[in-house]
Amino acid sequence: MRKLLKSQKGFTLVELLAVIVILAIIAAIAVPSVGHLISKSKDNAKVAEAIEIISASKTYVAAENDQLSFNDNTASITEEQLAPYIDNLKDNSWTITVTKDANTESYSYSINDHDDPVSDAHSNSASEQQLLDYNTGND
């Protein structure tokens, strides 16, 4: 019986502590990196949503141009107006500002009061080009 107990192999306390320290170091490095990746992916999702809203706004302007009332070449589009053109949005507190260039008859779009990382802190809006630049890494 004593021979059987003495022949058993196992890890010493020092070896177990060494493994725990190594795992702790790996966790200390990995956890902040994963947190940053999650944060960045949430920001990218918000920007993608804003771009999707602007794309739906373009469709709305093309289909319902006569419904828009421009005041000083500017019109606003709300989420209720875009409801038939877009689905499954998480942020529903935004508006779109459409600006019509009187000379070229072209439109420019910006999103207001949307929770994206591109929006200017003072005006709380982002233009379509700013969103596209952020999305392609040119920000």
* Pairwise CA distance, residues 8 & 17, whole Å: 20
Print the domain residue range for 100.
Answer: 45-135
For residue 105, tell me if it sits in a domain. yes
For residue 68, tell me if it sits in a domain. yes
User: Which of 113, 106, 44 shows the shortest CA–CA distance to 76?
Assistant: 113
For residue 63, tell me if it sits in a domain. yes
* Predicted local distance difference test score (pLDDT) of residue 19: 95
User: Which of 74, 77, 118 shows the shortest CA–CA distance to 96?
Assistant: 77
For residue 13, tell me if it sits in a domain. no
* Predicted local distance difference test score (pLDDT) of residue 94: 85
10-residue stretch averages of pLDDT, the chain, 139 residues long: 64 92 94 90 89 91 82 86 80 82 86 84 83 75
In this structure, are strands 107-112 and 74-78 parallel, antiparallel, or unpaired?
A: unpaired
* Predicted local distance difference test score (pLDDT) of residue 70: 81
For residue 60, tell me if it sits in a domain. yes
For residue 58, tell me if it sits in a domain. yes
Question: What is the count of structural domains for the chain?
Answer: 1
For residue 75, tell me if it sits in a domain. yes
